[in-house]
A and B are shown apart, each in its own frame.
Chain A
Amino acid sequence: MAVSCKKPASYGELCVNIGYSVNGKALITDSLCYRNDAGNEFLITEIQWFISKMELQDESDEWVAFEPQFFYIDTNIPESQTLRIASIPVGKYKTLRFVFGLDEEDNRTGLFTDPPESEMFWPDLLGGGYHYLKLNGKYLDSESRLTPLAIHLGIGQNEDHSQFYQNYFSVELPIDFTITESSENQLDLTMIIDNWFRNPNLYDFNEYGSHIMQNQAAQQALKENGNDVFRIGRPTDNENNTNMEKDNRFEEKFKNVMQKAAPKPHFWTWKSLKERMGSPIGTTENRQAV
Chain B
Amino acid sequence: MKLNKNITLVCGLVLALASCKPEQIHYVPTPYELPQPAYFPSKNNIPADNPMTEEGVALGRKLFHDARLSGHDGTDGIRNCASCHHQGNNFDFGGSVGLHHSVMPLVNLAWNHTGLGWNGGVATLEDMVLAAVTSPVEINADTNQVVKYLQKTDDYPELFEKAFGSQEITFINIQRAIAQFVRSLVSADSKFDRYLRGEEQLTEDEMAGYELFCTEEGADCFHCHGGGGLALMTTNLFYNNGLDDEFNDLEDRSAVTGSHRDKGAYKAPTLRNIAVSAPYMHDGRFQTLDEVIDFYSEGVKNSENINPLMHHVMDGGVQLTDIEKAQLKAFLNTLTDDEFLNNTEFSRP
Contact = CB atoms under 8 A, between A and B. Distances in A.
B250 to A, nearest CB: 5
B215 A123 contact: yes
A123 B227 contact: yes
Contacts of A136: 307-309
A147 B41 CA distance: 34
Interface in A113-142: 113-115, 118-119, 121-126, 128, 130, 136-138, 141
A149 interface: yes
A134 to B, nearest CB: 9
Interface in A235-272: 250-251, 253-254, 257-258, 260-262, 265-270
20 contacts: A115-B113, A118-B41, A118-B229, A121-B228, A123-B222, A123-B228, A123-B229, A150-B309, A211-B311, A257-B246, A261-B250, A266-B250, A267-B101, A268-B131, A273-B130, A281-B142, A281-B143, A282-B141, A287-B142, A288-B136
Nearest to A281: B143
Interface in B220-238: 220, 222, 226-230, 235-237
A287 B141 CA distance: 9
A150 B237 contact: no
A166 interface: no
Q: Could you say which interface size class chain A belongs to?
A: 35 or more
Contacts, number: 156
A191 B144 CA distance: 56
A283 B309 contact: no
A110 B230 CA distance: 9
A148 B42 contact: no
Contacts of A281: 134, 142-144
A267 B261 contact: no
A148 B127 CA distance: 36
Given A148-B313, A149-B308, A270-B122, A282 B145 contact: yes
A150 B143 CA distance: 48
Contacts of B137: 267, 289
Interface residues of B, number: 61
B35 to A, nearest CB: 15
B229 A109 contact: yes
Interface string B139-158: 01111110000000000000
Given A148-B311, A253-B304, A289 B136 contact: yes
Nearest to A273: B131
A-B residue pairs, 6 tightest by C-beta: A282-B142, A121-B229, A123-B214, A136-B308, A210-B311, A148-B311
A266 B215 CA distance: 39
Contacts of B101: 267
B247 A282 contact: no
A148 B247 contact: no
Contact of B134 (A30, A147, A282): A282
A119 B313 CA distance: 22
B260 interface: yes
B200 interface: no
A276 interface: yes
Given A121-B227, A214-B216, 13 more contacts: A123-B222, A124-B229, A136-B309, A137-B308, A148-B308, A211-B216, A253-B304, A254-B260, A262-B248, A265-B250, A267-B101, A267-B137, A270-B131
- Chain B interface SS verdict (over half): loop
Contacts of A110: 39, 229
B135 interface: yes
A51 interface: no
Contacts of A232: none
B325 to A, nearest CB: 19
A26 interface: no
B132 to A, nearest CB: 10
A213 interface: yes
B247 A257 contact: yes
Nearest to B36: A113
A261 B40 contact: no
A148 B309 contact: yes
A206 to B, nearest CB: 12
A6 interface: no
B201 to A, nearest CB: 15
